[in-house]
Amino acid sequence: MKGFQSRRLQAETITLAHGAGGKAMRDLIESVFVEGFASPELHRLEDQARLDLTRFTAQGDRLALTTDSYVVDPLFFPGGDIGKLAVAGTINDLAVGGARPLYLTCGMVIEEGLPMETLRAVVASMKATADAAGVAIVTGDTKVVHRGAADKLFINTAGVGVIPRGIDIRADRGQPGDKVIINGFLGDHGAAIVDARGEMSLDNSIETDCQPLNELVEAMLKVCPDIHCLRDATRGGLATVLNEFAEASRVTIALDEQALPIRPEVRGMCELLGLDPLYLANEGKLVAVVPAEESDALLAAMREHPSGRHSAVIGEVQAESTGRVILQTAFGGHRIVDMLVGEQLPRIC
């Protein structure tokens, strides 16, 4: 493309020179990022992406903007890696607001000594995930820090999308009688990270649920444009998201423990380690609060989508303005499900 000529990168590991702003940095950017992401905006080698506003105005009346940083340890884990996580996580933050994700940025903080092969693998994963979601990575930044000043690789991504007219999804719209729906098994990502770290000598085959959810959300909105609340259950898990809904909407949310979709392997790991699956992180799960009369049709539509095959109604909104989440246990009792206090598993995303 005009303005871009690829340079052959000779180095096998990242050095401080790759962040110094000179020829080595230019070689890194062109050989790894520009070639890897293959975006026309990146190929122009400008300091910013220049985006056509007509694409935004044709699809909606509001701009959605989000940003997130990813510091997961290890970089690669069953079913995913930090690159897939960064792209999917940012796409999902846009999608659960009803937005159609369009563009992403990518900022990388790289530790001196990181193998170039590792960096290329992360970039390839980001590209594949973005392509699958119909999103382009259009601009970015690279910083290199001294050995020991970071842990291999940190990624920051920002995302831009458009919210279609008439969509009004907010945490404060939960209403008495609404149903609570989740799109599948809880805690898979947290369990996969525990397994990948190898610290607990556990033997399981759980993979992360990391995936972009924008196509699932679009399918949901076609059936139920009046979704009241919608959020992805990442750090803090299902419990934290529902507490945010209950507090913002000034309602009580009642969960049915027997309706919660949890894999036996995840449940067993939680029992062994003293963890609660309601607080385990997910990277491909969304929680929806929807009008009761539309819940059956929505659930059916979600189960038709690959990302929602195991969707389930797990609770309902009650009128009491406690701002709390309560769980009806399998033994017929009730307990309050609070916000997560502290950190069950550090550096999970």
Range 179-336 has CATH code 3.90.650.10: yes
State the pLDDT at residue 140: 96
User: Is cis: bond before 212, omega within 30 of 0?
Assistant: no
Residues written for the chain: 349
State the pLDDT at residue 332: 87
Asked if 210 and 85 count as a contact pair (C-beta separation under 8 A), the reply is yes
| Beta strands at 252-256 and 312-318: parallel, antiparallel or unpaired | antiparallel
State the pLDDT at residue 202: 67
State the pLDDT at residue 205: 80
Q: Which pTM was predicted?
A: 0.95
State the pLDDT at residue 6: 54
Sequence spans of domains, the chain: 16-163, 179-336
Distance CA 89, CA 77 (A): 16
Q: What are phi and psi of 268, to 5 degrees?
A: -65, -40
Distance CA 55, CA 325 (A): 41
Distance CA 116, CA 101 (A): 29
SS3 98: coil
pLDDT < 70 stretches in the chain: 1-8, 199-203
Which CATH code for domain 16-163?
3.30.1330.10
